[in-house]
Amino acid sequence: MAFTTPAEVADRLGRALSATEQNQALSVLETVDGMIREAVGKGAAWVPDPVPAIFVELSLQKAIQALANPQSLASESLGSYSVTFPRTQDGGLALSATERAQVRRALYTSLLSLPTRNYPGDIPA
């Protein structure tokens, strides 16, 4: 189960996805889901509640990137127009060291931020 859906990818893009794009988005979302779970040391059955916002944001970013550049091209030209994309061996899907740190921090910080309660007679902070 991915942390977000192709429908949310379409919402972010502001347009409907074709059937092919929906399948591609779902595949990328499931791949990123697995990478996030691996980064935080959790298995496929684990479902965070609530899902940290960074999990959703990274999933959306990676899916949009894959839709924009499905062949992982480094550059392309047409006449005088050319565009260059960031070059990565994995098509940009793998989580960077910074992204892995962000997902770990988001999960483990939220686990440590348990609500506290003051009781009558507690020493004021």
Tracing tokens 């991915």 back to the chain, one arrives at: 2
Pairing of strands 81-84, 75-78: antiparallel
pLDDT for 21: 92
More confidently predicted of 120 and 52: 52
| DSSP letter, residue 96 | P
Give Cα 41 distance to the centre of its chain: 16
By three-state DSSP, how is residue 82 classified?
strand
What are 13-69's pLDDT values in tens digits?
999 999 999 999 999 999 999 999 999 999 988 888 889 999 999 999 988 988 886
Tell me the pLDDT band of 124, cut-offs 50, 70 and 90.
low
Q: Read off the pLDDT of each residue in 66-92 and give the average, rounded to a whole number.
A: 71
11-50 b/e with 16+ CB inside 10 Å = b? eebeeebeeebbebbbebbebbbebbbebbeeeeeeebee
More confidently predicted of 114 and 60: 60
CA proximity to 26, closest of 45, 5, 46: 5
What are residue 84's phi and psi, to 5 degrees?
Answer: -120, 135
